[in-house]
Chain A
């Protein structure tokens, strides 16, 4: 069973400067986008529940750099904004969805935890943990039946692996030889409960062995390690047409959601992981290799912040709310005569 990809492979096959630059800029954009969400939530422009991605950027970006964003079918959990962005869902539409506006990716019907974009084959974020596993298998089954060469990619966290659907799905994916890639973003916590206190096997990739699915574990903070491991994984799924499981060891810098004070993690632990910031790791390496200067990076940052402040946020703010008359839309096919409930008017 493969573990971390061999370092030699990484050195011999390091990414081209252009790809490194793209990944670094995309991760920076994702970081700033999420920080904007944080601010907008504080002033109640975004309501409900909000789960942010900082710290884990290398996972979604590194994996999708090895896949075909917009073509491969991607499904994930509730920490989903960045996965949507990586698949090509326009940032304006993601932000408008968080604002609950009619111009959002789901017309304001979904919200933060439920981004969808059929045109980008982004098959959704899901608030219910463990729900997406079998859906990913179903997507892969459909792709296989139709003879397509796209694959299904399922990004979920470690705590989801304690749901029954994890085991049901792995078994089916293996027995039916489905082209599905499972990415486990192991950030060590399910809300406020650490993996040590909830899960018998800490190495998630080892749990997959019983289903005869190849599995590996990699550092989820170094995007080049993620990319390398993901290339092996994606190639396996696409070429062999059978499942693969990749565990990425990562960490969320913020709480589980905005209502999480974070008292269950020690300051020392958080500080230790903050030293493994995926942006800083790649930036330092690129500076060392003479591919970028700190000034160029800061200039990107300015551009990104301007784009968010001048275009993305105003788009969301100035967009209309969903029409209250649409309250009963999208339940069934448009002209269905289904009774839509609500206050009854009484008999004649």
Chain B
């Protein structure tokens, strides 16, 4: 089985989807001839033609709006927004049009757009090339929000997203685009929009998604050296949320540390904490802790201070275990 990084896995997923279904279209800024600024669409235009893989003007609202039009006609558009920080000109199209289409047409029009967009910090991109906007979209009824954490999940979840009849915001963890490598089948395969137990443990559940899953693994290694056994849950799908996998882990360990890069206030971790408080309170042995970004714009120079790292996760796990 070939070893791929996330870029190659995304490329492989798109290649397979384009080959298998002529209703699939891939487009965005620099996506066609240039092959994408991160090279995720490299070679796809040459292989599948300029009608299937094409460049757009620098017009995010227009990109998403035309994707909606194609989708309600019945096609399967997969637009790329070059950085998730650039998605806001299209926020109106996503929140007011894409998310509500099925609902306000009384079920007549599904809107099967898959919006691919790189997100997250750690590459010294500063304020406008580093943000984690998942909570805005998870808060918007009518959207699915999916976050892979490695090449294997990137390909499998992306193919599920493209098949999905409803709109999916597919957030790709760009910091580990090339760093994360794994065996990935060449053939198309699909992963469910469900959480996975990334590592089994007994004493504390680290619930996370995206690039920081890898920091959680590092923290779990450090904890193991201190005789603390951490279980890691890779959420993968924020909407729909696989409650049972999460709650089963909480019932087992009784201790929870939620980790994400996005700012803490009203971050997705708040929703997870509320879920656990509502449905597993009596299983908790300690307060739920969060290791998140700060409530600041994404910093330029101080990004390593801002980001969750293994040590911060380790300390939070120790705190909850010692409670």
**A interface residues with partner B (beta carbon < 8 Å):** 47-49, 100-101, 108-114, 126-130, 159-160, 162-165, 190-193, 197-199, 259, 264, 321-322, 324, 326-328, 331, 338-347
Query: How far, in angstroms, from A324 to B303 measured CA to CA in the complex?
Result: 10
**Given A163-B59, A193-B29, A114:B300 Cβ within 8 A:** yes
Query: How far, in angstroms, from A130 to B286 measured CA to CA in the complex?
Result: 48
**In the assembled complex, which residues on chain A have CB atoms less than 8 Å from the CB atom of B247?**
none
Query: How far, in angstroms, from A52 to B281 measured CA to CA in the complex?
Result: 55
Count of residues in B whose CB is under 8 Å from the partner chain: 50
B265 and A341: CB pair below 8 A?
yes
B125 and A48: CB pair below 8 A?
yes
Query: How far, in angstroms, from A114 to B302 measured CA to CA in the complex?
Result: 15
Query: How far, in angstroms, from A340 to B312 measured CA to CA in the complex?
Result: 16
Q: Separation in Å of the A344 CB from the closest CB of chain B?
A: 5
A192 and B33: CB pair below 8 A?
yes
B306 and A327: CB pair below 8 A?
yes
Query: How far, in angstroms, from A322 to B300 measured CA to CA in the complex?
Result: 10
A130 and B58: CB pair below 8 A?
yes
A327 and B316: CB pair below 8 A?
no
**In the assembled complex, which residues on chain B have CB atoms less than 8 Å from the CB atom of A347?**
287
**In the assembled complex, which residues on chain B have CB atoms less than 8 Å from the CB atom of A164?**
59, 61-62, 89
Contact of B57 among A108, A162, A341, A342 (CB under 8 A): A162
**In the assembled complex, which residues on chain B have CB atoms less than 8 Å from the CB atom of A331?**
295-297
Q: List 25 A-B contacts (CB under 8 A).
A: A48-B124, A49-B124, A110-B300, A127-B126, A127-B127, A127-B129, A128-B85, A129-B58, A164-B61, A164-B89, A190-B29, A190-B58, A191-B37, A192-B37, A328-B294, A328-B296, A339-B264, A341-B263, A341-B296, A342-B292, A343-B290, A343-B292, A344-B290, A344-B316, A346-B286
Of chain A, the residue at the smallest CB distance from B37 is A191
Other A-B contacts than A162-B62, A192-B37, A343-B316, 16 sampled, CB-CB below 8 A, are A113-B128, A114-B300, A127-B129, A162-B59, A190-B57, A191-B37, A192-B33, A193-B32, A198-B55, A264-B33, A327-B294, A327-B299, A339-B264, A344-B290, A344-B291, A346-B319
Query: How far, in angstroms, from A338 to B294 measured CA to CA in the complex?
Result: 11
Q: How many A-B residue pairs have CB under 8 A?
A: 151
Q: Separation in Å of the A184 CB from the closest CB of chain B?
A: 14
A340 and B123: CB pair below 8 A?
no
**In the assembled complex, which residues on chain B have CB atoms less than 8 Å from the CB atom of A339?**
264-265, 295
A191 and B296: CB pair below 8 A?
no
Contact of B264 among A190, A322, A342 (CB under 8 A): A342
**In the assembled complex, which residues on chain B have CB atoms less than 8 Å from the CB atom of A114?**
126-128, 300
Of chain B, the residue at the smallest CB distance from A326 is B302
B29 and A324: CB pair below 8 A?
no
* B30 within 8 Å of A (CB atoms): yes
Query: How far, in angstroms, from A137 to B129 measured CA to CA in the complex?
Result: 25
**In the assembled complex, which residues on chain B have CB atoms less than 8 Å from the CB atom of A322?**
301-302
* B160 within 8 Å of A (CB atoms): no
Q: Separation in Å of the A60 CB from the closest CB of chain B?
A: 21
